[in-house]
A and B are shown apart, each in its own frame.
Chain A
Amino acid sequence: MTADALIALLPIMVVAGAAIVVMLAIAVRRNYRLTVILTLLGLVTALATLPLAAERAPLAATELMRIDRYALFFIGLVLATGVAVTLLCYDYFAKREEQKEEIYILLLTTLLGGAVLAASSHFASFFLGLETLSVSLFAMIAYPIKERLPLEAGIKYMTLSGAASAFLLFGMALIYAEVGVLSFAELGRLSATADFQPSVLIGIVMIIVGLGFKLSLVPFHLWTPDVYQGAPAPVTALLSTVSKSAIFALLLRYFVVSGSYSYESLSAVLTFIAVASILVGNLLALLQDNVKRILAYSSIAHLGYVVVALITGRVLGSAFAVEAVAFYLVAYVVSTLGAFGVVAVLSVGGDEAETLAAYQGLFWRNPGLASIFTASLLSLAGIPLTVGFVGKFYVFSSGVNADLWLLVWTVVIGSGVGLYYYLRIVLAMMKSADGVATAAVPAAPAPLVGCLTLTVLVALLLWLGVYPGAFMEMLQSLSKTLS
Chain B
Amino acid sequence: MTLFWLITVLFVGGLLAWLAERWQAAAPRWVALAALALAAGLAILLLSGADAMTAWPASPAGGAWLSELEWPWIPRFGISFHLALDGISLLLIALTVFLGFMAVACSWTEITQRSGFFHFNLLWTLAGVLGVFLAMDLFLFFFFWEVMLIPMYFLISIWGHEKRAYAAMKFFLFTQISGLLMLLSILALAFIHRQSTGVYTFDYFTLLGSRLDPGTADWLMLGFLAAFLVKLPSVPFHTWLPDAHTQAPTGGSVILAGILLKTGAYGLIRFVVPLFPDAAHRFTPVAMTLGVLSILYGAKLAFAQSDLKRLIAYSSVSHMGFVLLGVFAWNALALQGAVMTMLAHGVSSAALFMVAGALQERLHTREMGRLGGLWPKIPRIAVVALFFFIATLGMPGLGNFIGEFLVLLGAFKVSVAMTSLAALGLIAAPIYALIAIQRTFYGSARATRPIADFGVREMAMMAFMIAAMVWMGIYPQSMLEVASPAVEKLNRTAAVGAMLP
Contacts and interface: CB of A to CB of B under 8 A. Distances in A.
Bind each other? yes
Interface of A: 364, 378, 383-385, 389, 393, 396-397, 400-401, 408, 412, 415-416, 419-420, 423, 427, 430, 467-469, 472-473, 476
A473 B173 contact: no
Given A412-B180, A416-B176, A469 B76 contact: yes
Contact of A412 (B142, B169, B181): B181
Contacts of A385: 143, 147
B438 to A, nearest CB: 38
A367 B121 CA distance: 15
Given A383-B146, A408-B184, A412-B181, A473 B157 contact: no
A473 B177 contact: no
25 contacts: A364-B114, A384-B146, A397-B187, A397-B191, A400-B188, A400-B191, A412-B181, A416-B176, A416-B180, A419-B172, A419-B173, A419-B176, A419-B177, A420-B169, A423-B169, A427-B157, A427-B168, A430-B154, A467-B73, A469-B72, A469-B74, A469-B75, A472-B74, A472-B76, A473-B75
A423 B146 contact: no
Given A427-B168, A472-B76, 15 more contacts: A364-B114, A384-B147, A396-B183, A396-B184, A396-B187, A412-B181, A416-B173, A420-B169, A420-B173, A423-B169, A427-B169, A469-B72, A469-B73, A472-B74, A473-B75
A405 to B, nearest CB: 9
Q: Which of B153, B157, B180 has the largest count of A CB atoms less than 10 A from its CB?
A: B180
B105 interface: no
B94 to A, nearest CB: 26
Interface residues of B, number: 31
A472 B72 CA distance: 14
The 8 nearest A-B residue pairs measured at CB: A472-B76, A384-B146, A416-B177, A400-B187, A469-B74, A384-B143, A401-B191, A412-B180
Contacts of A412: 177, 180-181, 184
Contacts of A430: 154, 157-158
Interface in B160-189: 165, 168-169, 172-173, 176-177, 180-181, 183-184, 187-188
Nearest to A409: B184
Contacts of B158: 430
B150 A378 contact: yes
A354 to B, nearest CB: 21
B216 to A, nearest CB: 11
Q: Chain B contact residues: over half helix, strand or loop, or mixed?
A: helix
Interface in B363-377: none
A335 to B, nearest CB: 15
A419 B131 CA distance: 23
Interface in B62-96: 72-77
Given A412-B177, A419-B176, A427-B157, A400 B74 contact: no
A419 B72 CA distance: 31
Contact of B74 (A383, A416, A420, A468): A468
Contacts of B172: 419, 423
A383 B150 contact: yes
Contacts of B180: 412, 415-416
Nearest to A468: B74
A132 to B, nearest CB: 35
Contacts of B150: 378, 383
A476 B77 CA distance: 11
Interface in B88-128: 114
A55 B252 CA distance: 56
Interface string B207-224: 000000000000000000
Contacts of A415: 177, 180
Nearest to A384: B146
B437 to A, nearest CB: 36
